[in-house]
Structure formats: structure tokens, C-alpha cells
């Protein structure tokens, strides 16, 4: 299937650079049975029933973007030069694979200074990135939280600089487990007030984990989407959440993942006798049109980039024709797009 089928024109003015406040005041496009309604996220409890189950991703976004200066190099021209590093994969307590800008100018053996409590040495470099070995006092994540910046997407950074407000704005309120380098952004629309209203209506929810990695956002470079290979990302579902999901399915209720990351980890799980089995491991599932969904009967998600694996996933869920209809409506009604934008609830 040709990638051009998943393209559309988006006015740059619709790219959101900041979230709305309160979070639940964002627009919510409600799609069901080919019908579209324009709502707000605070209307969500009114369109769900107590038989529905919302599944959230409890991953916590790392302040994975670091700016460091070279303090040790054979090349004097590199001393004190500033570089940008994005933490991607952790190998052990100290070693990380990172993307680096500009990559061509760093060398194996360079020592990088990030702060008085955090530095690193480049152990290895190849055409994809580098491996950093960090040196620090105390807890690594506490040091990273003080020194690093939220890895907000490049299309936002073209509009404005990262600032301290992103540390709160780009983190879901129920995040628990450090591990993502991007936010499960559909969750960003949920605030305490909305959660309390959902509880008042006795709408159930549970949590799974998928640490969002670079694979979710890597561009598709192949003309035929079936030739694209996703990078693996780590995920978990515990026994309690598996039981909650199974009970909902058995009762005929709807399982509605909040975000494409939740949907992907749910659909990665082994289904045995129509039951979800607790899961812990890596998934590189790439959902394309024709996929038969086993768990999800609804999806809450933001509006995604053209020709992205995420828009392809949405097209797989509702059909390409319907996906284009939904996005055309959202553009006409001036919904805000991408990570800090508005969202949709898609029901089968």
C-alpha cells in the first residue's frame, strides 16, 4: 500500500505549540457509525457508560533532551562546543544510546559536561548515534530531571523554545514509570476534574505501560508502507489490569485505549480463548489497514502527522476513507493538531 494514500494538507496555523488550560477544555471530535460531533473533553463522561473501560498508559516522560559542552577532546576546536543529545535506549545503569546533533563533529572518547552533577563520556559512535556512559552523584533520574529538558517534538521547537512549563504540560497527571522519550499525548487532556467526573459516573479505568520510543515517531521512508519496520518499545500489563480488561470484554463492554500507545500494547498481547494474558516485553507492532482488532472497540487519540504510522493506525481502525473524512472535518473546524492539540474519540 502506497504511503501517498495517507497524505493530507495541514495548515501550519493548526499546529498547537501550547496545550489549552484547563486540560479538559480541549476540543473532542466524537466519531461513531460515520457520524461526527464536535464536543469538548469535559463532555467525555456524557458519552461513555459504566460498561466502558478506559485504558491509560502510565509511562513517565524522561527529560531526555540534554545540552552539553565538550570538555575533553583531541580536537581543540571542539572544546566548549555545545551539542544536543537525546536519550533513546538504556543499556544499564550508566550507558545509553543517544542521538546527537551535530553527530559528525563528536568523537569517541570525548567527555561531555551537562551540569556539576552530571557528565558523560562517548564510548562509541556510528552513523546512527552514540553510546554515552554517564557519571553522576546520587540518583541518575533525579539528576536528569534537574538538568534535562522535555523532548517536545521538533515541529513545536520550530515554533518556540522549550521552557520549564513543558515539564508539567508534557507529562500526564497519572504518569508513574520513567521510560518514555515522548508523551502519550491523548492522556494530556485528562485533569483531576475530568477524572473525578468519570469516577462519579462509575466509568472504569485501568493502566498499562508502553515506554514511547523513537519507533513511534520515526518517519516512514519506504514507498510501500508494508516495508516499514517499527523499532521495538518496552511494555507491560499486570495481572490486575488484564483481569479488568477480560471482565469488560466478557460483559460485552467496550475497551477504549487512551492513545495509540495503549492500543498498540493491548493489541500486542497474546489472546488465548478471548482472554488477555499479562504481558511484559518488547513490541514492534505496526498496525496497517486490514488488521483485525482483538481488544479495542474504541480509541481516544490526538490528530497526527500525515504519512505517519499513527495516522496509518487511525486509518486501520476506522478505515482510510473515514479517517480522511474525520481529518477533513477537523481541519475545516480548526481543531488544533499534534501533541499539544485537540483530540478525538473513535467508536466502532
CATH class of residue range 65-147: mainly beta
pLDDT per position as a tens digit, 293-345: 999 999 999 999 999 999 999 999 999 999 999 999 999 999 999 999 999 99
Give the mean model confidence (pLDDT) for residues 232-236: 92
Residue 12: Cβ-neighbour burial (10 angstroms; 0-12, 13-18, 19+): exposed
- Comparing 3-17, 140-154, 180-194, 203-217, the range with the smallest average pLDDT is 203-217
Return the half-sphere exposure (C-beta side, CA atoms, 13 A cut-off) of residue 177: 16
Confidence of residue 253 (pLDDT cuts 50, 70, 90): very high
Confidence of residue 77 (pLDDT cuts 50, 70, 90): confident
From-to residues of CATH 3.40.1780.10 in the chain: 3-61+167-347
What whole-number percentage of the chain has pLDDT above 90?
A: 86
Does 184 score more than 70 pLDDT? yes
pLDDT value, residue 55: 98
- Comparing 4-13, 207-216, 294-303, the range with the smallest average pLDDT is 207-216
pLDDT value, residue 153: 92
pLDDT value, residue 272: 67
Global model pTM greater than 0.85? yes
CATH class of residue range 3-61+167-347: alpha beta
Ordered DSSP codes for 240-297: HHHHHHHHHHHTTPPEEEBSHHHHHHHHHS-EETTEEPPEEEEE-----TT---SS-S
Does 273 score more than 90 pLDDT? no
Alpha-helical regions (H) of the chain:
44-47, 140-147, 154-157, 166-169, 192-200, 239-250, 260-268, 309-318, 320-332
Give the mean model confidence (pLDDT) for residues 193-199: 97
Q: Residues 289, 295, 297, 300: what is their CA dihedral angle, to the nearest 10 degrees?
A: -80
From-to residues of CATH 2.40.10.240 in the chain: 65-147
| Count, residues in the chain | 348
Average pLDDT taken over every residue of the chain: 94
pLDDT per position as a tens digit, 213-223: 876 667 788 89
Does 195 score more than 70 pLDDT? yes
Amino acid at each position: 500500500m502506497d504511503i501517498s494514500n495517507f497524505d493530507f494538507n495541514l495548515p501550519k496555523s493548526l499546529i498547537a505549540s501550547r496545550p489549552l488550560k484547563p486540560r479538559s477544555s480541549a476540543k473532542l471530535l466524537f466519531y461513531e457509525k460515520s457520524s461526527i460531533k464536535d464536543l469538548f473533553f469535559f463532555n467525555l463522561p456524557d458519552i461513555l457508560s459504566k460498561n466502558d473501560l478506559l485504558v491509560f498508559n502510565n509511562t513517565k516522560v524522561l527529560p531526555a533532551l540534554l545540552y552539553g559542552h565538550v570538555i575533553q577532546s583531541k580536537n581543540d576546536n571542539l572544546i566548549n562546543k555545545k551539542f544536543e543529545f537525546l536519550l533513546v535506549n538504556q543499556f544499564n545503569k550508566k550507558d545509553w544510546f543517544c542521538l546527537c546533533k551535530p553527530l559528525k563533529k563528536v568523537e569517541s572518547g570525548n567527555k561531555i559536561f551537562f551540569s556539576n552533577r552530571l557528565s558523560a563520556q562517548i564510548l562509541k559512535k556510528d552513523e546512527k548515534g552514540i553510546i554515552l556512559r554517564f557519571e553522576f552523584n546520587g540518583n541518575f533520574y533525579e539528576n536528569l530531571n534537574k538538568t534535562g529538558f522535555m523532548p517536545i517534538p521538533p515541529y513545536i521547537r520550530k515554533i518556540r523554545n522549550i521552557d520549564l512549563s513543558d515539564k508539567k504540560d508534557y507529562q500526564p497527571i497519572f504518569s508513574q514509570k520513567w521510560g518514555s522519550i515522548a508523551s502519550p499525548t491523548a492522556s494530556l487532556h485528562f485533569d483531576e476534574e475530568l477524572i473525578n467526573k468519570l469516577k462519579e459516573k462509575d466509568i472504569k479505568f485501568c493502566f498499562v505501560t508502553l515506554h514511547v520510543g523513537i519507533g513511534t515517531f520515526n518517519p516512514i521512508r519506504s514507498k510501500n508502507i508494508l516495508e516499514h519496520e517499527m523499532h521495538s518499545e518496552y511494555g507491560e500489563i499486570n495481572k490486575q489490569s488484564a483481569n479488568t480488561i477480560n471482565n469488560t470484554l466478557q460483559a460485552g463492554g467496550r475497551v477504549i485505549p487512551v492513545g495509540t500507545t495503549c492500543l498498540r500494547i493491548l493489541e500486542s498481547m497474546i489472546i488465548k480463548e478471548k482472554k488477555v494474558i499479562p504481558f511484559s516485553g518488547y513490541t514492534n507492532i505496526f498496525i496497517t489497514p486490514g488488521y483485525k482488532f482483538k481488544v479495542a472497540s474504541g480509541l481516544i487519540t490526538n490528530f497526527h502527522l500525515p504519512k505517519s504510522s499513527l495516522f496509518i493506525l487511525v486509518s486501520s481502525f476506522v478505515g482510510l476513507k473515514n479517517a480522511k473524512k474525520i481529518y477533513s472535518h477537523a481541519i475545516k473546524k480548526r481543531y488544533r493538531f499534534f501533541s499539544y492539540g485537540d483530540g478525538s474519540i473513535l467508536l466502532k
